Amino acid sequence: MDRDSSNKAGKELDTEVVNARRGFLGKSAALGLAGATLGLAGCKEEGSAPKGSASASASAAAKGAGGHEIAPGQLDDYYAFTSAGHGGEARVIGLPSGRTLKRIPVFNVDCMVGWGITNESKKIMGTKADGSLEYITGDTHHVHASYKDGTYDGRFMWVNDKIHSRLARIRMDTMECDKITKLPNVMGFHGMFPDKCDPVDPKINYSTRVFCGAEFHIPLPNDGHDLNDPSKWGALFSCVNVDSMEVMWQVRVDGNMDLVATSYDGKLAASNQYNTENAHDLTGMMSSERDACVFFDVARIEALVKAGKFTTIGSSKVPVVDGRKAANPDPKTSITCYVPVGKNPHGVNASPDGKYFVCSGKLSPTATVIDLSLVHKWFAGELKTERDAVVAEPEIGLGPLHTAFDGRGNAYTSLFLDSQCVKWNVDAAIAQFKGDKNAKVIIEKMDVHYQPGHNYASMGETKEADGKYLNSGNKFSKDRFLPVGPLHPETEQLIDISGSAMKLVADHTAYSEPHDGIIVRRDVVKTRQIYNMDDFPNAVKQENAGITRQGNKVTVRMMSVAPNYSLPEIKIKKGDEVTLILTNHDKVEDLTHGCAIPTYNINFIVNPQETKSVTFKADHAGAYWIYCTHFCHALHLEMRSRLLVEA
């Protein structure tokens, strides 16, 4: 066989493999879910773009990739901030290049930067009485940023920890975590979103609260009682103060909460819900035809709290109000509104014009469009039923999950079972719902590889949605990359949505398991390159450098200036409790120093003008070279200090 014939045969085989893989994934997933839900509704295929092979998609991507390549030395147009799933961190990616710019440790231990090792990071993460970390695992799902005037302001980002129900705040100027809060009486903290302006004071046009949904029902309090009576279990919706990161209040709800969205006027927060049946097993969770999107009237909740009309749970002092349907019979005084949507919804997203929330069905082939003005009417007692707030519910595909927006009236929803992204028009969906049989709702469908979870668009969750890029985070890659053993890389596919048709720009591998993210214009993010030494109360300077002892507690205050530590030798005794404080006195951008102590499980970095510290027990004697782990100078290898532990 000649080379051309061989290449042709290879391409045909590739096409067969990919199509076979797609068919297998789609059928097996559909059958599995059908077994759990007693059947899936069908989905229309109108408006579908032709489905091509992997090679055809790659060819189309190559033709459409002009202008997307970022050459060496050029800067990306966007930052993508993504969660890392059970990796426990957040990640920073440049777009459209796909370059990994930074991994931000949050709930995980990171021995490069020293997160979970230094005293400062351990204080943020939380410790037990013996000083060890309370948790060393985390499960991040969603990253969202603070707002001003309906768009990102570059102050903070937040990321959740589903395992241990914690909310972390990340400073966007340093891209480092500075605060972690544990939510009381909550398990399975999944979705969260900051408000976009104050719900009470219209003059405050920036984020002041972060809303957090809990997915799992647990006994309240979870203290060992009622373990055999799940009918007494429940879930709480929490509100956290942006600045203090303290929990302000909680609301008990029906159902299991998933994701969270907030309105642009600041008055409403919402969470899509499954298990509105409040069941404790799969059969019970599937018994109702629909689930819900629950809306919270934030001002009414805070009025109840201010008036003292709340309870507390267990040892927590956080005010709790009852948002269950049975406790709120009158819309005019209700704090919650349960809008029926498709079964087992997964995702609720706000349109950039501020008019609508969109919930996807997951086990229904539909997306539910909810008009926020009608939700306000329901709270005012002017709407007959909660369902009357729904203005569209188009069939868009199998397994719809998350919806992004381009700012031009179009929505982009991930279709998990179809392994596609569907582009559809919101106004056309509303017209169709009103009876217009000629309304063309679905504009285009694009194959993604494979089974997408989250998708998100450039500036798509702000009023400045610019409709340039869409990222599809896919849960399976299979035959997309070189095999690396049983655990495959996952796929982030970047799609150009600036034109009339979607164009695949690139496949980016992703280490397991990325979830949601946001794409932010680079001009929004203003980072600092050098710390201010005076921001650190324990900063080491010439006047306080050295070694001090109080009994068996030794404090070592040391400075670093490339290629030297200020103390060439440190003498201590076996059994001492040692606190080492290190300040980087270099003022050159990107001149970071490391500090490692062999056999003592210590390694961390200090950036220019930064101070960090570690505390350890000198429990074994000997000579140990403290050395710089982060390349800093031509004499980097010679940058050392001797730690002498006397027996």
* pLDDT reported for residue 281: 81
Q: Is the pLDDT score of 170 beyond 50?
A: yes
pLDDT tier at 335 (50, 70, 90 boundaries)?
very high
Cα separation, 290 vs 520, in Å, equals 35
pLDDT band, very low/low/confident/very high, at 49 (cuts 50, 70, 90): very low
Q: Give the domain range for residue 585.
A: 533-645
Confidence grade of residue 251 (pLDDT, cut at 50, 70, 90): very high
Residue 317: pLDDT band with limits 50, 70, 90: very high
Position with higher pLDDT, 615 vs 363: 615
Q: What's the distance, Cα to Cα, between the start and end of the chain in Å?
A: 75
Is residue 64 very low, low, confident or very high in pLDDT (cuts 50, 70, 90)? Answer: very low
**What is the percentage of the chain residues whose pLDDT exceeds 90?**
82
By C-alpha distance, which of 464, 521, 457, 514 is closest to 489? 514
Please state, rounded to an integer, the average pLDDT across all residues of the chain.
90
CA-CA distances (angstroms) from residue 97 to 461, 464, 467, 501?
A: 21, 22, 17, 21
pLDDT of residue 27: 53
pLDDT, tens digit (0-9, with 9 covering 90-100), for 605-618? 999 999 999 999 99
| Residue at token pair 């919804």 | 345
In a domain, 636, yes or no: yes
- Using the CB atoms, write b or e for 135-160: b if 16+ within 10 Å: beebbbbbbbbbbeebbbbbbbbbbb
The answer to whether residue 624 sits within a structural domain is yes
Task: Read off the pLDDT of residues 398-449 as tens digits, 9 standing for 90 and up.
Answer: 999 999 999 999 999 999 999 999 999 999 999 999 999 999 999 999 999 9
Phi, psi of 471 (to 5 degrees): -105, 130
Contact between 495 and 488 under an 8 Å Cβ cutoff? The reply is: no
Phi and psi at residue 325, in whole multiples of 5°?
A: -60, -40
Q: CB under 8 Å to 16, separation ≥6 — which residues? A: none
- Per residue in 503-534, pLDDT (tens digit) is 999 999 988 888 899 999 999 999 999 999 99
Place of tokens 């009309």: 309
CA distances from 59 to 30, 55, 62, 506 (A): 30, 6, 5, 11
Q: Is the pLDDT of residue 2 over 50?
A: no
Question: Who's near 447: CB < 8 A, 6+ residues apart?
Answer: 22, 51, 52, 57, 419, 420
Residue 577 lies inside a defined structural domain of this protein: yes
Give me the pLDDT at residue 23, please: 57
Find, among 543, 536, 538, 481, the residue nearest to 512 by Cα. 481
Specify the range with the lowest mean pLDDT, choosing from 36-40, 163-167, 280-284, 370-374.
36-40
Contact 312, 285 (CB under 8 A): no
Q: What's the Cα-to-Cα distance from 10 to each of 17, 55, 86, 270, rounded to whole Å?
A: 10, 11, 37, 50
Q: Return the CATH number at 549.
A: 2.60.40.420
For residue 280, the model assigns a pLDDT of 79
Q: Residues with Cβ < 8 Å from 165, sequence gap 6 or more?
A: 182, 183, 186, 187, 188, 189, 214
The yes-or-no verdict on residue 45 having pLDDT over 60 is no
Q: Which long-range contacts link 355-358 to residues 24+ away (Cβ below 8 Å)? A: 356/391, 356/426, 357/261, 357/263, 357/270, 357/293, 358/403, 358/411, 358/413, 358/426
pLDDT confidence tier of residue 19, bands split at 50, 70 and 90: low
Cα–Cα distance, 394 to 350 (Å, whole number): 17
Separation between Cα atoms, residue 54 and residue 12, nearest integer Å: 10
Q: Is residue 39 part of a domain?
A: no
Nearest Cα neighbor of 49 from 386, 502, 639, 457 is 502
* 536 within 8 A of 583, measured Cβ to Cβ: yes
CA angle, 521 as apex, 98 and 480 as ends, to 5°? 20
Q: Give yes or no for residue 585 having a pLDDT over 60.
A: yes
Do 412 and 404 contact (CB within 8 A), yes or no? Answer: yes
Distance CA 574, CA 570 (A): 13
In a domain, 450, yes or no: no
Calculate mean pLDDT across residues 29-36. Answer: 47
The answer to whether residues 630 and 605 touch, using CB atoms and an 8 Å cutoff, is yes
pLDDT at 289: 81
Q: How far apart are CA 32 and CA 26, in angstroms?
A: 10
Query: For residue 443, is it within any domain?
Result: no
* Residue 111 · residue 136 · CB < 8 Å: no
Whether residue 414 contacts residue 452, with contact meaning beta carbons closer than 8 Å, is answered with yes
Q: What angle do CA 301, 304, 310 make, to 5 degrees?
A: 105
Other Cβ atoms closer than 10 A to 123: 10
**Segment 184-237, tens digit of pLDDT:** 999 999 999 999 999 999 899 999 999 999 999 999 999 999 999 998 899 999
pLDDT band at 584 (very low <50, low <70, confident <90, very high): very high
Across the range 562-570, mean pLDDT stands at 97
Q: Rounded distance, CA 237 to CA 325, Å?
A: 14
- Of residues 40 and 353, more confidently modeled: 353
CB atoms within 10 A of CB 223: 12
Q: Supply 255's token pair.
A: 């159902």
12 within some domain: no
Tell me the pLDDT tens digit for each residue of 83-131: 999 999 999 999 999 999 999 999 999 999 999 999 999 999 999 999 9
Does 640 reside within a domain? yes
Report pLDDT for 458: 98
Model pLDDT, residue 148: 98
Q: Is the pLDDT of residue 498 over 80?
A: yes
pLDDT at 470 over 60: yes
Handedness of CA 308, 146, 468, 53 (dihedral sign): negative
Residues 6+ apart with CB under 8 A from 551: none
The span from the CA of 555 to the CA of 26, in Å, is 61
pLDDT tens per residue, range 131-155:
999 999 999 999 999 999 999 999 9
Q: Backbone dihedral region of 362: left (phi > 0), alpha (psi from -120 to 50 degrees) or beta? A: left
CA–CA distance, 285 with 344 (Å, rounded to integer):
9
Please state the rounded mean pLDDT for residues 42-57.
40
Residue 231: what pLDDT?
86
Tally of structural domains, the chain = 1
Amino acid (one-letter) located at 561 = V
